[in-house]
């Protein structure tokens, strides 16, 4: 039975993950799945059969780790600012922003399981992170964020194009926009400024190699 309440989702996540420190951001603890947890063993087809979306929140993806690392190492980018973590997943980037001194942090993801995961992970790290499941792509970018952070958003072609257009609109309205990407197929190769590059340890179960060259980019 798939949990339909916030408390049920929290309990589901707690039962299918354990607190771990991602290798590239050891300052942060997250409830993550690993090879020994049942959720790892479920294929996307099996998840769909039981009504559960793919658990992107259960893993620390390379783009998010790189972006979180950059924020932690350059806190002035977010200090005192309003920050939106777009497609937040586990909330690793939002938590990094909060730890770096952001004035307000909102994590956004349409998966309600992410809401529970981000709440648990924020609590584990002693920070405050707001959350919304609103589909932000269906409306103009909100006016309040000073900084928008987005990790691993270019894994599907139609979605990547839509997200990048939305982020470009946000940049045009004055927001600083940073993207973490490990060379996904649909990430644009031109028109962005590379801020940093990292070798991010990952797992062969998630990626095509054990270490992913991952960059942080800014929309100019």
User: Does any domain span residue 64?
Assistant: yes
Q: Evaluate if residue 171 carries a pLDDT over 80.
A: yes
Mean pLDDT over residues 142-147, rounded?
Answer: 96
Q: How confident is the model at residue 154 (pLDDT cuts 50, 70, 90)?
A: confident
Q: How confident is the model at residue 34 (pLDDT cuts 50, 70, 90)?
A: confident
**What are the C-alpha distances in Å from 162 to residues 5, 94, 152, 154, 168?**
30, 22, 14, 10, 10
**Under the phi-then-psi rule, with left for phi > 0, alpha for psi from -120 to 50, and beta for the rest, what region is 208?**
alpha
The pLDDT of residue 204 is: 63
User: Does any domain span residue 183?
Assistant: yes
The pLDDT of residue 26 is: 97
User: Does any domain span residue 45?
Assistant: no
User: Does any domain span residue 52?
Assistant: no
User: Does any domain span residue 212?
Assistant: yes
Domain that holds residue 108: 60-218
Structurally, how many domains does the chain consist of? 1
Strands 193-201 and 104-108: unpaired
Q: Cβ atoms within 10 A of the Cβ of 206, count?
A: 13
**Which of 44, 77, 203, 53 has the alpha carbon at shortest distance from 149?**
77
């Amino acid at each position: 039975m798939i949990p339909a309440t916030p408390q049920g989702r929290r309990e589901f996540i707690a039962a299918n993950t354990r607190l771990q420190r991602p290798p590239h951001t050891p300052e942060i603890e997250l409830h993550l799945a690993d090879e020994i947890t049942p959720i790892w063993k479920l294929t996307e087809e099996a998840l769909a059969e039981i009504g559960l979306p793919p658990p992107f929140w259960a893993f620390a993806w390379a783009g998010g780790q790189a972006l979180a690392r950059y924020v932690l190492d350059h806190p002035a980018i977010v200090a005192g600012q309003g920050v939106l973590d777009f497609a937040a997943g586990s909330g690793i980037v939002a938590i990094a922003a909060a730890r770096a001194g952001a004035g307000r942090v909102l994590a956004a993801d349409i998966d309600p399981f992410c809401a529970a995961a981000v709440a648990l992970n924020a609590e584990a790290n002693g920070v405050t992170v707001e959350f919304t499941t609103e589909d932000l792509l269906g409306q103009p970018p909100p006016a309040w964020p000073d900084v928008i952070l987005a990790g691993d958003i270019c894994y599907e072609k139609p979605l990547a194009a839509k997200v990048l257009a939305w982020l470009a609109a946000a940049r045009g309205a004055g927001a600083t926009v940073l993207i973490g990407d490990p060379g996904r197929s649909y990430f644009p190769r031109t028109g962005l400024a590379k801020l940093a590059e990292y070798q991010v340890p990952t797992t062969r179960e998630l990626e095509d190699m054990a270490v992913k060259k991952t960059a942080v980019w800014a929309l100019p």
